[in-house]
Amino acid sequence: MSHQHDRPTHAPTPDARALDPRSIEALLAVVARLRDPEHGCPWDLEQTPRTILPFTLEEAYEVAEAIENDDMAELCEELGDLLFQVAIYSRMAEEDDAFDFGDVVASITGKMVRRHPHVFGNAEVASEEEVRENWEAMKAAEREAKGQRVRTSVMEGVAQALPALVRAGKLQKRAARVGFDWETPEGVADKVREELAECEETFSAHADPLERVHEVGDLLFSCVNLARHLGVDAEQALRAANHRFERRFMRVEVCLGAAGKEPAPEYRDDMERLWDTVKHEER
């Protein structure tokens, strides 16, 4: 947590309006002014890394949405919002004498150079797979050099905070590296059908609710596995499906409204008919 009243004294903050708006110095000056104890913004002054974390996650997803929509103007704006998050985290850390924005830049620059010896050094690689293997080996060496515990399982290090579909895919990739994987998509498809059948066994009104949760989870996990074998990012695929469903249903609502109706159980047949029409029109 940042302690506003115990902040160290820093050099005077330059006026961001007098700086080149395209420069990182201008952004850092804006953030410094927002966090200034005397002249800053009351809301920004109250924030801590924990309180702005939800906004950071939201901004990352908005970047993803701009990319999926092929909207370069929106992507430019959303990347700016995301960069602001990096700048304000760095400012908070600087106030606590932990690190500053320059340290963040130096850290990632050094890491990228260090982990790409085939680009910035004399190392040679024969394939993308070899690049990934070298990357993991260097990460392990860096952890050991820092005195961090050497991982004893290939499953370690996959962040718990990741979206469930993303984390499932990463766990599966870890297992695949050591040969624990299906050989063909057909084998995974068989597993999906198996998991669906086990899920159907819980349809009974007397089924154990916890068992239903487990079986649905297994089904979703196997679907992620199938997506991975088909070269499809499960998270992006589901996001795209959500967008399609949303767009189509909104079109159904418009068509119902033109007939003086609105979505309701008594118009289920109308909605299904319109849904099929909308899908056909899109294709």
74 exposed, middle or buried (CB, 10 Å; 0-12, 13-18, 19+)? Answer: middle
Q: What radius of gyration, in Å, describes the C-alpha atoms of the chain?
A: 25
> How does residue 207 score in pLDDT terms, banded at 50, 70 and 90?
very high
Residue 22 phi, psi dihedral angles, 5° rounding: -90, -5
User: Distance between CA atoms of 26 and 16, rounded to whole angstroms?
Assistant: 5
**171 and 153 in contact (C-beta within 8 Å)?**
no
Work out the percent of the chain whose per-residue pLDDT is above 70. Answer: 95
Averaged over 102-111, what is the pLDDT? 96
CA–CA separation, 221 and 195 (whole Å): 9
Kindly indicate the confidence band of residue 18, based on its pLDDT and cuts at 50, 70 and 90: confident
Kindly report, residue by residue over 146-163, the tens digit of the pLDDT: 877 666 788 988 989 899
Q: For the chain, give the number of residues.
A: 283
pLDDT band at 140 (very low <50, low <70, confident <90, very high): confident
Burial degree of 205 (CB within 10 A; 0-12, 13-18, 19+): exposed
Average pLDDT, the chain: 91
Of 222, 146, 147, the C-alpha closest to 182 is 222
* Backbone conformation region of residue 139, classed left if phi is above 0, alpha if psi is from -120 to 50, else beta: alpha
- pTM for this structure? 0.74
Distance CA 67, CA 184 (A): 30
Tokens 């927002």 — which residue?
34
For residues 79-104, one letter each, b for 16 or more C-beta atoms within 10 angstroms of the residue's C-beta and e for the rest, the string is eeebebbebbbbbbbbbeeeebbeee
The predicted structure's pLDDT at residue 11: 62
